[in-house]
Amino acid sequence: MRALLWAAVFVVGCKGKGSTPATGSASGSGSTPVAVVVDAASAAPPVDATAAPAATLLFDDKPEDATLALAFGKAPKLPAISADGTRVADFHSDSTGPMPVQPVLVAIRALGGGKAEELELVDLALAGAAEEEWSSKPPSDAVKKTLRDRGAAILKRLDGFQSLVPVEVPVDSSGDPQPAKIGDLTFKAAGADDESLTLTLADAKGRVVRHTKVESYGEGSGDSACTFRPMFDRVFLDQANTKLYISVGFHWRDDCGAPLQRYSVWGLPTAEEDELAKLVAAQFDTSVDVDKLFATDAQLVNGSDVATDSIPYTIKAGNERYTGHEDANLEISRSRDGQTAWASLTTKLSILPQNEKGRDDPWRASSVLARTPAGWRIAATTWTAPRANAAVNKDAKAGRLPSLAAFTADPGDATLRAAFAKLATDGLDGDAASAELVAIGSGPGERTTTGATFAKGWNAGWKGKTTITSSIARLAPSGTTGWVAANVELSKGSYKIPFHVFAVFDKTQAGAWSLVHVHFSI
C-alpha cells in the first residue's frame, strides 16, 4: 500500500484547574477548565453483565429516615440517572448545622456539575418549625399533606430516571477509602495533601484501565479567596453493570458557599471495547494489515486535505525511522444505536533519526469507527502532535501562522455543518452536552473531559469569536454519527489563530446532532 507522507498538525487546546477557567493559556482556548483527566491505558476483561431487568427507579420499602417515610411511603433510591444519561438526581440538604429535622431537597443537574434544578421536600421554614425529630414527634396533618404533595411532585419529575446501585467502599480507621472490588476490577480513591484526588480502576493483572484526577480549584482573590479541595464521596454502578459513576465532593469554608457534588462517569471495559482499543492503537503499528483496520472509503483528515485513497500506517519523515509506539490515554465511546464508536488516543512514537539517539514523540489520534460486514473498521481519523501554547501565540502575533487553504472536497452533509456552525455562534449548552465528551488540547497531556466542562471554556473563549472559513462533513454508514472537518479563525483581539477542527457528532433520541468529541489543530 502506498504510504502517504504528511506534516505534523499542531493542536491548540485547553488548560485549567478544577472548575475555574485557566489563565494565561497561549492559544487563548485555555478558558476551558480541566476538571478531570482520563487515562485509560488498556482494556480490561468485561465485568459480568448477565441479563437484568430494564433499568428503572428503585424504591426503599421501609426508609429509616422519617422525612422520606412521611413524604413517599416507599422512598426512591437516589442518586438516579435520567433516561438520556445526561442528568443526575440526588437528595441534598441546605443545612449548615444540627437541627431536629433537616431541610431536604432533590437536586437535578448535569453530571459535570453546574446549576441544579431544585425540588424542595422540606424547606428551611418547615424544618425550623419542628421542635423534635419527626420519628419521635410526628408533624401535624397539614405538614404531612405538604410532604406527601411534594413527594408526589418529585416522583412525577423523576419519571424515567434510573436508580444507581451503590458500590461498597471500605474505609480505614481514619475514614480514608480503601480498594473496592467490582467484579474482577479494583477501584481506588487516593488524595494528595487535599490538593487533588486520584481515582483509578485496575484489572485483575493490576493494569490501570481508567484514571481520573480531580484538582482543587479556587474562586475570588485576596481575603475573599476560596479554595475547594476534592474528596471522594461515593461510587455507583448502573443497573446494567456497564457504567461506573464516581461522586466527588469538596472541602470548603462556610463563608465560601457549598459546591454541588460532581460525577465522573466511566464506561466499564467490555470485550467489544477491547477489540476497538486494539483497532485504534493498531493505526500506529507498521506490521498490521491496514485493510483490516480501515474501511474502504476511510478518510485521513490532515489539515485542509482529506485523503480517501491512502491511509498512512508508518511514521516517516526525511531520514527518520519509526521503531514502535507506547499507548496511553485511550477513551472510547459508542453511539446510542451501537453501530459506530469514536475514540481518542495519546501515544508516544519512537523515532530513530540518523546519527542521533532515539526519542519519543507524543501524538494524538481521534478516530470514528463503524460496524461493517467485515467487522469494526476505522471510518475517519486525524493524527496530531502537540505544541507548546506559548510558541503558537508567539507565531500568531508575529504573523507566522499562514492562512488555511480551503477544503476542495465535496462539502457533504449540510445539517452536520450547520450543527458545527451553531456551536460557533450560539455556544454549547453544558447541561445538555454529552457527559463523556473528550476534547483534545494542544500541549502535552492536555485533555478535557465531560461536556459541561468543555462547554464552559468554549462559551467563554470561542463563542462569537470564531469564524468558519471552510468546512466539510461526512456521515457514518448508520447515518446517526458524523464528523465535521473545519477551518476556523479564533479572534484574539489584535491577532487571529487559524485552527483545523475535527468534530464528531452523534444523533440524540430526538434526532438532533450532539457534539461528542472534538480535536483542535493548526
**Grid coordinates representing 205?**
493483572
How far is it, in rounded angstroms, from Cα 115 to Cα 459? 16
Integer angstrom CA distances of residue 434 from 183, 201, 203, 506: 27, 22, 26, 10
Which residue numbers in the chain have pLDDT < 70? Answer: 1-53, 96, 112-113, 193-194, 258-261, 286, 303-305, 307-328, 350-360, 445
Rounded to 5 degrees, what are φ and ψ at 131?
A: -90, -25
Strand, coil or helix: what is 520?
strand
What is the pLDDT, as a whole number, of residue 7?
A: 25
Beta strand pairing status for 10-11 and 375-386? parallel
Ramachandran region, residue 458 (left: φ > 0; alpha: ψ -120 to 50; beta: rest): alpha
What is the pLDDT, as a whole number, of residue 19?
A: 29
Pick the CATH number of 10-32+291-521 from 3.40.50.150, 2.40.30.260, 3.10.450.50, 3.40.640.10: 3.10.450.50
How far is it, in rounded angstroms, from Cα 342 to Cα 516? 8
Predicted structure pTM score: 0.61
DSSP state of 401: S
Identify whether the C-beta of residue 460 lies closer than 8 Å to the C-beta of residue 21. Answer: yes
How far is it, in rounded angstroms, from Cα 185 to Cα 167? 12
CA-based angle 438:36:187, to the nearest 5? 110
Ramachandran region, residue 329 (left: φ > 0; alpha: ψ -120 to 50; beta: rest): left
What is the pLDDT, as a whole number, of residue 88?
A: 94
What is the pLDDT, as a whole number, of residue 195?
A: 77
How far is it, in rounded angstroms, from Cα 245 to Cα 266? 7
Identify whether the C-beta of residue 238 lies closer than 8 Å to the C-beta of residue 81. Answer: yes
Residues in Cβ contact with 62 at an 8 Å cutoff, skipping those fewer than 6 apart: 69
**b (16+ CB within 10 A) / e for 336-357:** beebbbbbbbbbbbebeeeeee
**Grid coordinates representing 61?**
420499602
pLDDT digits (tens, 9 = 90+) for 351-373: 655 555 555 677 888 999 999 99
The residues spanned by each domain of the chain are 10-32+291-521, 59-163, 165-267
